[in-house]
Structure 1
Amino acid sequence: MPPNVNKALEFIDAAHREDPNIVQVNGESIPYELHYAQKMSKYLDLHTPYADPLLVTAARAQHFRRWEVPRDSYPRTKAGYLAWRAFLKKRQAEQVRQLCLESDYSTDEADKVAALVAKEDLKKGEGKGDPDAQIIEDVACLVFLDDQFDGFEKAHDEDKIVSILQKTWVKMGKRGQELALAMDLSDRAKELVGKALAG
């Protein structure tokens, strides 16, 4: 990666390391958002090897300082959830844009990364929006299935989980769907994915 991209990634990971939420990964304690960012980078490499540096930056910066605005800071309603997500996307995009400028990205480059973090030009279906935004969406969906789904599934009834999986599926492009089907999921996750795709 170019020096300015390496500099940005170092800044991004330094912020992720400040996340007070710790998870255990292979016997090692790691801040959750750093773990999440590493998963985003892993699945980006699988999805799009040799991705553009701006895409690499945006993937690594997903959830940037998200822990500072917890879900419970908004009402536990659908409207509250949507408002929380909208605020986070705008906040994260602005913070990452500034970080990119401080890392010697051009204004256009910083704007592009910010747009990807905010998923500004994401439209369902192949070829309808920014292809890079679709890649970020695919990668985020893959990380959800790999890293978050089993815990999430236990907290909700089956009908809701199947509905969420169906919505997740249609968000993904063809490449993302191919990788999802090839994932080594738990038996329960495979069962629910099967029900979602059959519905």
Structure 2
Amino acid sequence: MTILQFQNASAWIDAENAQDPNHEIDHSVSQPKELLYSNRMYERLMDFYPNASEAVQISAKAQHICRWKMPRESYPMDRVGYLKWREDLKKFHAKTTAEILEKAGYSTAFIARVSFLIEKKLLKKDIETQLLEDVICLVFMEFYLDPFVQKHDREKMKNIILKTWNKMSEKGQQEALKIKFSAENFDLIKEALGL
């Protein structure tokens, strides 16, 4: 593994995500949605756990790579459809990333490890899978909780918050409580967690 391999892989992941036709405004600037998500994931990882391995760093950047190519609407709009979509997405993200890593010259073992992480295997048992899940949950709570609150009723939101919380390690949970939430959202979180 070399710095050049990592730089190339990162640049190619960014280039893929930059093609997202969906945009989001961040600090008054419109950005491709998945490129913004990728950058938020990477920045949060390095802030939360600066010593993260190269495999985790790439997995964080590629977590949602090209997600718009597999829209939720292309699956039945029920619980079974949702779970199938989530499962297929993980495989799609892992495969898309593996192709980039192969092009960057990474070893088969390294590529297999990144795929393992992106597919979130052995959550709660594998330290790096858990680290990645913590970062996913932290990014969700910091940047995407509020849009969810606008769309869903209070009871559903409490359920979403509790599920998110239960996926995190204790260290991740402590970090989540440092996020600057709005007063309303913090009240909702406290209610959901029984704090």
TM-score by length of 2: 0.96
1:121 is displaced (CA, Å) by: 2.0
Aligned to 1:188: 184
Contact 1:47/1:175 (<8 A) preserved: no
Distance 1:189 1:72 in 2: 28
Give me the whole-angstrom Cα distance separating, in 2, the residues matched to 1:195 and 1:42: 29
Give the deviation of 1:192 after TM superposition: 0.9
**SS of match in other structure, 2:31:** strand
**C-alpha separation between the residues in 1 aligned to 2:12 and 2:147?**
30
Task: In structure 1, list runs of 5 or more residues that go unmatched.
Answer: 124-128
CA RMSD between the two structures: 1.2
User: Which residues of 2 match residues 33-52 of structure 1 at below 5 A?
Assistant: 33-52=34-53
Residue equivalent to 2:103: 102
Q: CA deviation at 1:50?
A: 2.6
Letter in 1 for 2:95: E
Q: Does 1:130 align with 2:126?
A: yes
Identical columns (%): 37
Paired with 1:194 and 1:95, the residues of 2 have a C-alpha distance of 38
Shift of 1:174: 1.4
CA distance in 2, matches of 1:27, 1:196: 32
**Residue deviations 1:16-50, cap 9 Å, x none?**
10000011111211101011011101110122113
- Name the SS of the counterpart of 1:175 in structure 2: helix
Query: What letter corresponds to residue 141 of structure 1 in structure 2?
Result: C
Question: Which runs of structure 1 show a deviation greater than 6 angstroms over 4 or more consecutive aligned residues?
Answer: none
Aligned to 2:15: 14
Matches within 5 A, 1:16-165: 16-123=17-124, 129-165=125-161
Paired residues, number = 194
Distance 2:25 2:144 in 1: 14
**Matches of 1:10 and 1:78 in 2, distance apart?**
36
- Gap regions ≥5 residues in structure 2: none
TM-score for both structures, normalised by structure 1: 0.94
Q: Residues 16 and 65 of structure 1 are in contact (CA less than 8 Å); yes or no, is this contact kept in structure 2? A: yes
